[in-house]
């Protein structure tokens, strides 16, 4: 593949990663009502802690620790025209990166304020300790299989995912470097790797691809399941490319130090995508169709989400309505 074509695929993958991170963050919080009753049966206060913790996962990218490790949004976007910037040459992010970063921050901070979720790392530490104490007191840590099953059911009901596709594991002995974990390419990324508390991956098994997620913190487990499913839906965009291109694109885009920017920009894009997708279509189908767009088409769609939402709705709905019944969970051998 020529350098220009490869660079276009890299830009496309960067945009898809924003939707993936945004989907995981927004859905993990919005779906809380689906499992609140189940958690409340174990301990009502635990349900409140989980809800606040799920939202802090969205808030944390702008909090102290993340800002220390990856820097402030203002300085990051100011450097986007430099050749060493990870999003250098991405026309959409050059034009709208600052705006969607700010919009995402407004969305999650206003919701955090409404429900009393922490908006700083110091407050989050207190919430985490209270959550762990409540888990111990109500015996939730003694029922990891049941809680992992509830996490799977949340995604199954929310996104109509085949039950057999998901494999969740709640583990207190989470390894910070499990097999396949994205390797940090910078010193900051290697520091971030030490703070990993949840992880999801896609593995090939009997008859297809499966999502595996593990964490010692239940809201993060739900988040990782949504993220894994969104990732699987977006794999369609890499089907058909040669192996060398596939590896090159993922090596340049699926980097630990870029996940924070997915969190900072993804929620705004994903919320706008939800507004464009009409019932009965599900978000994974929309994500699949985004991944099947060519790089220029995806960039135009993202611009439309910001500048002309009605056009964006027409573009995605034309694809969804015209497509024959197709599973977002099945990818061909090229993936």
DSSP 27-88: HHHHTHHHHHHHHHHH-HHHHHHHHHHHHHHHHGGGSHHHHHHH--HHHHHHTTTSTTSTTT
> What is the maximum span of the chain, computed from C-alpha positions, in angstroms?
59
Q: What is the pTM of this model?
A: 0.85
pLDDT at 176: 47
Summarize pLDDT for 45-59 with one digit per residue, the tens.
Answer: 666 656 655 555 555
User: What pLDDT, on a 0 to 100 scale, did the predictor assign at position 334?
Assistant: 43
Closest listed residue to residue 150, CA positions, set 282, 40, 230: 40
In a domain, 96, yes or no: yes
pLDDT recorded at residue 77:
93
- Consecutive H or E run containing 19: helix 3-30
Residue 211 belongs to a domain: no
Whether 314 maps to a domain, the answer reads yes
Is residue 335 domain-resident? no
- Order of strands, sheet of 198-205, starting from the edge strand that comes earlier in the sequence: 166-170, 208-215, 198-205
Inside any domain, residue 271: yes
The pLDDT of residue 149 is: 86
| 149 inside domain | no
One digit per residue, the tens of pLDDT, for the chain of length 335 reads 568 888 999 999 999 999 999 999 888 877 665 565 666 565 566 666 566 555 555 556 666 566 667 778 888 899 999 999 999 999 999 999 999 999 988 887 777 666 555 555 555 555 555 555 555 555 555 556 777 888 898 899 889 899 899 999 877 655 544 554 555 666 666 666 666 767 888 888 887 889 999 887 777 888 899 999 999 999 888 777 777 888 888 888 888 778 888 888 999 999 999 999 987 788 999 999 999 999 999 999 999 999 999 999 999 999 988 875 556 666 554 45
Strand-strand pairing, 208-215 and 166-170? parallel
How many domains does the structure of the chain reveal?
A: 1
* Residue 204, in any domain of the structure: no
Residue 78's domain comprises 3-140+237-322
How far is CA 203 from its chain centroid? 18
Instruction: Confirm whether 193 is domain-assigned.
Output: no
Both tokens of 159, joined, read 């996104």
């Amino acid at each position: 593949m020529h350098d220009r074509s490869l660079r276009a695929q890299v830009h496309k993958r960067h945009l898809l990663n924003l939707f993936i991170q945004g989907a995981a963050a927004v859905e993990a919080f919005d779906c809380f009502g689906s499992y609140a009753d189940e958690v409340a049966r174990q301990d009502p206060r635990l349900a409140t802690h989980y809800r606040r913790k799920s939202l802090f996962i969205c808030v944390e990218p702008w909090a102290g620790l993340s800002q220390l490790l990856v820097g402030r949004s203002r300085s990051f976007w100011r450097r986007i025209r430099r050749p060493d910037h990870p999003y250098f040459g991405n026309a959409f992010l050059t034009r709208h990166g600052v705006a969607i970063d700010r919009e995402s921050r407004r969305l999650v901070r206003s919701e955090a304020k409404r429900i009393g979720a922490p908006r700083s790392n110091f407050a989050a530490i207190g919430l985490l300790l209270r959550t762990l104490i409540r888990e111990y007191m109500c015996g939730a840590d003694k029922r990891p299989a049941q809680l992992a099953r509830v996490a799977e059911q949340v995604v199954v009901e929310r996104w109509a995912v085949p039950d057999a596709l998901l494999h969740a594991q709640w583990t207190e002995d989470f390894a910070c470097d499990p097999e396949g974990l994205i390797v940090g390419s910078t010193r900051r990324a290697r520091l971030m790797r030490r703070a990993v508390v949840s992880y999801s991956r896609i593995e090939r098994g009997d008859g297809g691809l499966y999502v595996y997620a593990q964490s010692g913190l239940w809201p993060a487990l739900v988040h990782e399941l949504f993220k894994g499913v969104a990732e699987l839906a977006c794999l369609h965009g890499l089907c058909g490319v040669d192996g060398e291109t596939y590896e090159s694109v993922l090596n340049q885009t699926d980097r630990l130090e870029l996940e924070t920017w997915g969190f900072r920009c993804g929620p705004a894009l994903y919320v706008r995508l939800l507004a464009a997708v009409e019932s009965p279509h599900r978000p994974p189908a929309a994500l699949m169709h985004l991944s099947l767009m060519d790089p220029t088409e995806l960039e135009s769609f993202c611009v439309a989400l910001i500048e002309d939402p009605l056009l964006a709705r027409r573009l995605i709905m034309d694809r969804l309505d015209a497509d024959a019944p197709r599973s977002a969970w099945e990818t061909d051998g090229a993936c």
